[in-house]
Amino acid sequence: FDAVDVIRAKRDGQELADAQIDWVIDAYTRGGVADEQMAALAMAILLNGMSRREISRWTDAMVRSGTRMDWTAAGRPTTDKHSTGGVGDKITLPLAPTVAACGAAVPQLSGRGLGHTGGTLDKLESIPGWRASLSAEEMQAVVRDAGAVVCAATENLAPADKKLYALRDVTGTVEAIPLIASSIMSKKIAEGTGALVLDVKVGSGAFMKDTESARELARTMVDLGSDAGVRTVALLTNMQTPLGLTVGNALEVRESVEVLAGGGPEDVVELTVTLAREMLAAAGIDGKDPAEALRDGSAMDVWRAMVTAQGGAVDAPLPRARETHTVLSPADGVLSRLDAYGVGVAAWRLGAGRARKEDTVQAGAGVEIHVKPGAVVAGGEPLLTLHTDEPERFDRALDALDGAFTIAPVGSRPDLLPLVID
Ligand code: URA
């Protein structure tokens, strides 16, 4: 095969043959297809799309670029969740232990944050001593002993995607549904889970800003999972406003622990329980109520075992930022909008997120939310508290919040999207 022929075929709107797809993914992974050629092909895919067969084969070729993990030794059905990413989305932290407490094994390979969305590993790393990188043997041991593991993917998990995602990031080719769907699903299929629940976010804080494109992404990913023998379902959920009352690494761990202790914000509890039910159903486990696992302490027991197994000091105080600044409501009224993207960018600028992969994050930085959309507020009442170690960051964070919330007149009833859209 010749890379230029493959690029020309996709440029001219043709379907790629299975053998062409297998060859191009394999050759790119080994360095036989150059970055500029793969970038041209990615752009042709973005512009001309791919058929279901092409996406499925592309995904499978990326899975085969590395190893597919096997969890049979865990002795229980495996089930996992993937979120397409949002602001304040800490759901994995209470969810993985809850589902394990109900009898499933949860092998969750996670990522770090980039841009305005946070990453699960960054959040967990705010726990003193906690280690994200485990060997394959260590992962198996944590799943066997604790029931769930949340850790970094090994180098050999879909290496074609690692290379391609980094290339797409710098060539304006991230935003193509076939490429997003195959990227996410190649990693989840290679992870070896038997069942998968996709939490596809919709709204300003998400990849997909409208319900129709989120639905198309969800359908594409569900098809890919089914084609690969993974029982896959998807939920479309609201990312117009942040989840819960905290955005930022240690702040989100604190809130997750509150949920595991049977408390925590209503929306975080509702989404945790909803996703847990779907994960258990997809794994064929019934008779266990995840809400009960949060109330009776069994989810908390799994959390403690899981964090401890990865070196985390589970009872140690979480880091706190050195400086805070409070944003007050400018008027009496009803908070009708608190924009997820604006809050996400503010948290990022306070030091909770990174602009480049090499950047470090501040454990204590972020935004604490005092009032959620729909609530009545008085002028001068605190809306948000900003946290950072570096007070010079407050100005740019406040710029991001300019226009990010609306106080509607007293008595108004804002039209808010439900938490679970579909
Ligand atoms: N997340 C991924 O892992 N890949 C994408 O392409 C987009 C989001």
Kindly report the protein residue whose alpha carbon is nearest to atom 5 of ligand 1: 180
Distance 181 CA to ligand 1 centre (A): 7
Q: Tell me, what's the pLDDT at 114?
A: 72
Q: Are 80 and 106 in contact (CB under 8 A)?
A: yes
Q: Answer yes or no: is pLDDT of 47 > 80.
A: yes
Minimum-distance ligand 1 atom for the alpha carbon of 111: 3
**Structure-block tokens of residue 291:** 């809400």
Task: Say what the pLDDT of residue 172 is.
Answer: 92
Which residue is closest in CA terms to ligand 1's atom 7? 180
- Look up residue 97 and give its two tokens: 């232990």
User: What CATH number has the domain spanning 72-309?
Assistant: 3.40.1030.10
CATH topology identical between 72-309 and 323-408: no
- The pLDDT of residue 111 is 84
Mutate to test the pocket of ligand 1, among 84, 169, 177, 180 (most ligand atoms within 8 A of CB): 180
Beta bridge partners of 231: 195
* The ligand 1 atom nearest the CA atom of 179: 6
Q: Do 148 and 76 meet the contact criterion of CB atoms below 8 Å apart?
A: no
Ligand 1 atom 1: residue of nearest CA: 184
Confidence at residue 355, expressed as pLDDT on a 0 to 100 scale? 78
**Distance (Å) from CA 327 to ligand 1 centroid:** 33
Looking from the CA of residue 165, the nearest atom of ligand 1 is 6
| Closest C-alpha residue for ligand 1 atom 8 | 180
pLDDT at 183: 96
**Residue matched to tokens 């949060």:** 294
Q: What percent of the chain has pLDDT over 90?
A: 94
Distance 180 CA to ligand 1 centre (A): 5
Interatomic CA distance for residues 251 and 87, integer angstroms: 13
Residue 59 makes CB contacts below 8 A (sequence gap 6+) with 181, 182, 185, 186, 189, 224, 227, 228
What does the pLDDT average to over 132-144?
96
pLDDT at 167: 93
Q: Examine the pLDDT at 13 and tell me if it is beyond 90.
A: yes
User: 171 CA distance to ligand 1 centroid (A)?
Assistant: 14
Q: Which residue, by CA, sits nearest to atom 2 of ligand 1?
A: 184
| Cα separation of the two ends of the chain | 44
Q: Are 168 and 38 in contact (CB under 8 A)?
A: no
Question: C-alpha distances in angstroms, 186 versus 25, 65, 168?
Answer: 12, 10, 16
Cβ within 8 Å of residue 56, ≥6 positions away: 223, 224, 227, 228
CATH annotation of 3-49: 1.20.970.10
Whether residue 164 has pLDDT greater than 80: yes
The pTM (predicted TM-score) of the whole model is: 0.96
pLDDT for residue 65 is more than 80: yes
pLDDT band at 165 (very low <50, low <70, confident <90, very high): very high
Pocket around ligand 1: residues whose beta carbon is below 6 Å from it? Answer: 165, 174, 179-180, 183-184
- As a whole number, the mean pLDDT across the chain is 96
**One-letter identity of residue 253:** V
Residue to substitute in 59, 161, 179, 183 for testing ligand 1 pocket (most ligand atoms within 8 angstroms of CB): 183
165 Cα: distance to centroid of ligand 1 (angstroms): 7
State the fold for domain 323-408: Aldehyde Oxidoreductase; domain 3 (3.90.1170)
Instruction: Please report, for the chain, the start and end positions of each structural domain, with discontinuous segments joined by +.
Output: 3-49, 72-309, 323-408
Confidence label for 358 from pLDDT (cuts 50, 70 and 90): confident
Residues annotated as part of the active site: 82, 161, 168, 183, 187
- Residue with CA nearest ligand 1 atom 3: 184
Pairing of strands 79-83, 106-110: unpaired
Cβ-based burial of 291 (10 A; exposed 0-12, middle 13-18, buried ≥19): middle
Ligand 1 pocket, mutate which of 165, 182, 200 (most atoms under 8 A from CB): 165
* Nearest CA-CA partner of 392 in 349, 352, 341: 349
- Which atom of ligand 1 is least distant from the CA of 184? 3
Per residue in 239-280, pLDDT (tens digit) is 999 999 999 999 999 999 999 999 999 999 999 999 999 999
Computed on alpha carbons and rounded to an integer, the radius of gyration of the chain in Å comes to 22
Q: Which atom of ligand 1 is nearest to the CA of 180?
A: 6
What is the 411 CA–ligand 1 centroid distance (Å)? 42
Find the Cα–Cα–Cα–Cα dihedral 383, 361, 153, 39, rounded to 10°: 100
How far is the centre of ligand 1, averaged over its atoms, from the C-alpha of 183 (Å)? 5
